[in-house]
């Protein structure tokens, strides 16, 4: 009996051999199993150099000794941060005795009449009886107008009451009555109002 007679009965064919038999369909007759020597060889793995790698150690530099002169100076830092002057439309100088809530409210009403808000100005409150140092007042601020209400201005500036004078090329100075005088004197209010319209002309 030929082997072909057992092709349809795998179990019968298996009984003739000790090992397992796998039946390959006829259509797979073209399948060619190559020898291991015919298979492509695996790509070569490059050899890793065994030379030791030199690791450079950084030198540990000692920290700079902190001297008392190098210590953090908050005052100097504030000075550097405020080196750029802040621009204001006007600098207002009043005496310390005029810095009451009532008189400051009166002052802001005067300024509002010429369209100056509180954020448009820098209000400098000066000690009573002392002479105003304009250079010190304008150290951190720049403005084309300085209004002094009843304060003592140094004679070198040649200021006259209720007359605008030149302080620097960029800044003019105007000296008028104190707030305490103005709040109770209608005539002085009229004089001030006439000058303010010239100093701050309506646009």
Can you give the CATH number for the domain in which 124 is found?
3.40.470.10
User: Domain span at residue 143?
Assistant: 84-199
Q: In this structure, is residue 64 part of a structural domain? A: no
DSSP secondary structure letter of residue 187: H
Q: In this structure, is residue 96 part of a structural domain? A: yes
What pLDDT, in 10s, does the model give residues 182-203? 999 999 999 999 999 999 988 7
Residue 46, both tokens: 């490059």
Q: In this structure, is residue 136 part of a structural domain? A: yes
CA 20 → CA 12, 16, 27, 79, 126, distances in Å? 12, 10, 21, 97, 114
Q: In this structure, is residue 15 part of a structural domain? A: no
On whether the CB atoms of residues 172 and 145 are closer than 8 A, the answer is: yes
Average pLDDT over the chain reads: 77
What pLDDT, in 10s, does the model give residues 87-141? 999 999 999 999 999 999 999 999 999 999 999 999 999 999 889 998 889 889 9
* Local confidence band at 155 (pLDDT 50, 70, 90 cut-offs): confident
Q: In this structure, is residue 118 part of a structural domain? A: yes
* Local confidence band at 6 (pLDDT 50, 70, 90 cut-offs): very low
pLDDT higher than 60, residue 36: no
What pLDDT, in 10s, does the model give residues 47-61? 666 666 666 666 665
Q: In this structure, is residue 60 part of a structural domain? A: no
Q: In this structure, is residue 137 part of a structural domain? A: yes
* Local confidence band at 78 (pLDDT 50, 70, 90 cut-offs): low
Domains held by the chain: number: 1
Q: In this structure, is residue 79 part of a structural domain? A: no
* Local confidence band at 143 (pLDDT 50, 70, 90 cut-offs): very high
CA 121 → CA 42, 86, 111, 114, 129, distances in Å? 85, 10, 9, 12, 23
């Amino acid at each position: 009996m030929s082997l072909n007679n057992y092709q349809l009965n795998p179990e019968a064919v298996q009984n003739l051999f000790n090992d397992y038999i796998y039946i390959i369909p006829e259509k797979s007759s073209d399948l060619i199993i190559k020898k291991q020597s015919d298979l492509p060889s695996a790509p070569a793995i490059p050899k890793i150099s065994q030379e030791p790698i030199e690791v450079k150690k950084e030198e540990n530099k000692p920290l700079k000794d902190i001297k008392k002169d190098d210590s953090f100076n908050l005052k100097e830092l504030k000075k550097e941060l405020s080196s750029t002057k802040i621009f204001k439309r006007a600098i207002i100088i009043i005496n310390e005795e005029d810095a009451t809530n009532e008189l400051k409210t009166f002052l802001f009403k005067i300024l509002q009449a010429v369209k100056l808000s509180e954020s448009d100005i820098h209000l400098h409150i000066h000690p009573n009886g002392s002479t105003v140092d304009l250079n010190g007042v304008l150290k951190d601020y720049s403005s084309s107008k300085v209004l002094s209400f009843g304060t003592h201005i140094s004679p070198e500036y040649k200021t006259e009451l209720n007359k605008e004078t030149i302080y620097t090329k960029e800044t003019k100075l105007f000296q008028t009555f104190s707030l305490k005088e103005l709040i109770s004197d209608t005539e002085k209010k009229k004089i001030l109002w006439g000058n303010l319209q010239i100093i701050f002309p309506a646009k």
